[in-house]
Amino acid sequence: MPANPYQKYQQNSIMTASPGELTLMLYDGCLKFIRQGREAMNNHQDAEKNTLLQKAQRIITELMVTLDRKQPISNEMLPLYDYINRRLIEANIKNDPTILDEAEELVMNFRDAWREVIKTTRKNQPQKQTGLA
């Protein structure tokens, strides 16, 4: 049986992504799990909510452990990631969608800022020359 073309495309996208694009994918995945977790919470699907919010937490943890501590900005990002992680835990325990709203907004801010960094970096990179010399 042939592989699902969408899954193959996703896998290829991940394998060929730059480190910056992978970070953007992590932010997007975290947002997806927060939103799905909120939906499960609103539908009283506690086990599903727990699983989804734990996935979001694992992504935040991954972002924390992969921070380049040599960069000064990481000293400002780490406490924010830790805060988001704690809020996800609290939202999960308390079944509080307003706490999820706060966590989602913070992750969206990180994601949007990261997207701008990628855009700026691409714009400032020298273009590759093609053709024969």
**Structural domain contains residue 3:** no
Each residue of 5-38: b (16+ CB within 10 Å) or e? eeeeeeeeeeeeeeeeeebbbbbeebbebbebbb
Position 111 in a domain: yes
Residue 79 has pLDDT above 60, yes or no: yes
Domain that holds residue 49: 18-119
Whether residue 4 lies inside any domain: the answer is no
Residue 125 lies in a domain: no
CATH assignment at residue 45: 1.20.120.340
On whether residue 10 sits in a domain, the answer given is no
Total domains present in the chain: 1
Instruction: Report pTM.
Output: 0.82
Name, in order, each residue with C-beta under 8 angstroms of 56's C-beta and a sequence gap of 6 or more.
30, 33, 34, 37, 88, 103
pLDDT-based confidence at 13, cuts 50/70/90? low
Examine residue 1 and state whether it is found in any structural domain, yes or no. no
**In a domain? residue 24:** yes
> Would 113 be classed as within a structural domain?
yes
Given pLDDT bands bounded at 50, 70 and 90, which one contains residue 16?
A: low
pLDDT in tens, 81-130: 999 999 999 999 999 999 999 999 999 999 999 999 889 888 887 665 55
